Amino acid sequence: MYELIKNIGLGMFVNGAYAWQFSEATNKGFLAIIEGVLIMALAIYLYYHHLNQAF
């Protein structure tokens, strides 16, 4: 489940970076990059937090 969330964040990051470089919607692309990074960071944090709870 954490990998799925992390991959969704990665997809948002990549699409945002593409939009930031090659389209007129630079503000929305930048926000998509930030949102993707935050989702990936949250998934990684939850994964390691869950591992520490198991032991």
- Residue of 24 and 54 predicted with greater confidence: 24
Residue 39, CA distances (Å) to 28, 46, 54, 55 in order: 16, 11, 23, 25
Q: State the pLDDT at residue 45.
A: 92
pLDDT (tens digit per residue) in 1-52: 888 888 888 888 888 888 888 888 788 888 888 999 999 999 999 988 888 8
Q: State the pLDDT at residue 37.
A: 92
What distance in Å separates the CA atoms of residue 26 and residue 44, rounded to the nearest whole number?
27
Q: How confident is the model at residue 54 (pLDDT cuts 50, 70, 90)?
A: low
CB atoms within 10 A of CB 11: 14
CB atoms within 10 A of CB 28: 13
Looking at residue 19, what DSSP letter applies? H
Residue 30, CB half-sphere, CA atoms under 13 Å: how many?
4
Give the global pTM.
0.76
